[in-house]
Amino acid sequence: MDTSTDHTYGGGAGVRGVRGADGGVRGRDADRSGGTDPRADLPHPPEPRLLGAVLHTAFFLLLGGALARFLLHHPGDVRTPWIVALSVLLALLDAVPPRKAAPPGERGRPTGTGLGRLAVVVVVWMVLVLLAPSFAWCAVPLFYTGLRILPTRAALVLVVVLTVFVVAAQLRLAGGFDPNLLFAPPAVAAIATAVFLQAERQATRQRALIDDLVRTRRELAASERRAGTLAERQRLSMEIHDTLAQGLSSQQMLLQAADRVWVSDPAKARAHVRTAESVTEHSLDEARRFVRDLAPADLARGDGLEQALCALAARESGERLTVRVHVDDGGGRAPRLPERVRSALLRIAQGALANVREHSGARTVTLTLTLLDDQVVLDVADDGRGFAPEDLPVAPAGVRGHGVPAMRARARGLGGTLAIESAPGEGAVLSATIPLEPTR
């Protein structure tokens, strides 16, 4: 048994409906984040502090071990005061750096103080090696210092010089030729240099990738903002077309009709003016509500979609057009429609009636709302002159005529469809189908 309500404003006309079911996925609003640092959650190149601390510690251990070895093997030697003084000076120079070390990838631009300190450290170390060959292995931490603050070619020259001193000191300490002592220091220097340069190249590439990613994120955020702005402009244009523009169009038609019969039939002219006044009052309500939250004024009062469609039909009905509303809610078992669905369907009905009034020449229009468990269908059927749906023109940007594209966009934005069935001389039926979330 069909338990439905039928609200009629004027004469009746049969309903010729087109039903379409499309279980499309409901559209979602894209999340946009703003006000955050694009680098906040990105990986950063490793800081050289840990490696620097390890090398400083190793340098002090090697320096202390070499000094202890000399004091144990050469007690009372005349070189002892000089070696102790130079060792203390070298330790102080290494312990108190004059400037902040440059991170990997930013070396090659040392200050004059940094170059002078490095030169003093190298000269003091060379003197120590000449006085006591056991200080030769203190050169390993110096490799890192040179590679970190000097340009690549200058750093490689320094590594070669330090390696030569190490080889000479080890051969002197051994008291004769030893192939192992000849080839081991260059191998150690080559490994240390290769490891450092490779780490530096990786850090440089990682920093470049991070910069590219940050730039890409910023460009993407700007693109999303532009897309959001364009979408909001499109939405606002549809809202204005479906509310203020249609109200003004109705007022214009009513005032023109009043002007035509102003002398011959003053009573009818005053009736047209009163109707225009009513339309103006409703348009003003729409404008105020539009400024607040862009929701339809008929829904803003807390009424349901059925009451809003009835109010719309009452406003649109007149001497030249009769609008009827038929609602099938399944005996009250249908779910309550979400606000977005109600608003979209009301706007679609407004747009369809505006097209009927301006283009079809129809005498009667029937709005049929069918509420099902999984979808809601709105049919707008008229008895006008009809048309070929494939001949519908596409409205250029900035030209009045949003009607069908706007209605189709509203339905698609909620995962629904919009179908039009018409033929010349046979009227037209517009059917909007919106899927609903399943109830549990």
The span from the CA of 144 to the CA of 352, in Å, is 78
Residue given tokens 């470049």 in the structure block: 208
Strand partners, 325: 7, 367
In single-letter form, the type of residue at position 283 comes to: S
Q: With respect to residue 286, please indicate whether it lies within any of the assigned structural domains.
A: no
Structure tokens at 180: 């192992």
Report which residue type is found at 93.
L
Count of residues for the chain? 440
Residue 122 lies in a domain: yes
The verdict on residue 74 lying in a domain is yes
Q: Are strands 428-435 and 322-328 parallel, antiparallel or unpaired?
A: unpaired
Single pTM value for the model: 0.40
Q: Which residues pair with 331 in a beta bridge?
A: none
Residue 175 forms part of a structural domain: yes
Q: What is the pLDDT of residue 302?
A: 57
Angle, CA 332 vertex, CA 331 and CA 336 arms, to 5°: 145
Give the model's pLDDT for residue 93.
Answer: 76
Overall number of domains in the chain: 1
Q: Which of 48, 16, 93 is nearest to 382 (CA)?
A: 16
Task: Confirm whether 119 is domain-assigned.
Answer: yes
Three-state DSSP class for residue 66: helix
| pLDDT for 126 | 83
The verdict on residue 70 lying in a domain is yes
Q: 232-281 pLDDT, tens per residue?
A: 777 777 777 777 787 888 888 888 888 888 988 888 888 888 888 888 88
Question: Tell me, what's the pLDDT at 15?
Answer: 37
Name the residue type at position 288: R
pLDDT on residue 100: 44
pLDDT at residue 368, rounded to an integer: 94
Residues in the chain with pLDDT values less than 70: 1-49, 51-52, 96-114, 181, 288-303, 331-335, 392-402, 438-440
Which pLDDT score, from 0 to 100, does residue 430 have? 93
**Is residue 54 assigned to a domain?**
yes
What pLDDT does 301 receive? Answer: 59
362: tokens are 């129809």
pLDDT of residue 246: 79
Task: Determine the Cα–Cα distance for residues 212 and 37; give it in Å rounded to an integer.
Answer: 15
Host domain of residue 196: 49-215
Q: What is the pLDDT of residue 43?
A: 46
Rounded CA gap, 136 and 62, in Å?
Answer: 9
Residue 430 lies in a domain: no
Q: Is the separation of the CB atoms in 2 and 305 below 8 Å?
A: no
Site of tokens 């959650």 = 41
pLDDT at 46: 44
If we measure between CA atoms, which residue out of 395, 391, 422, 421 comes closest to residue 406? 395
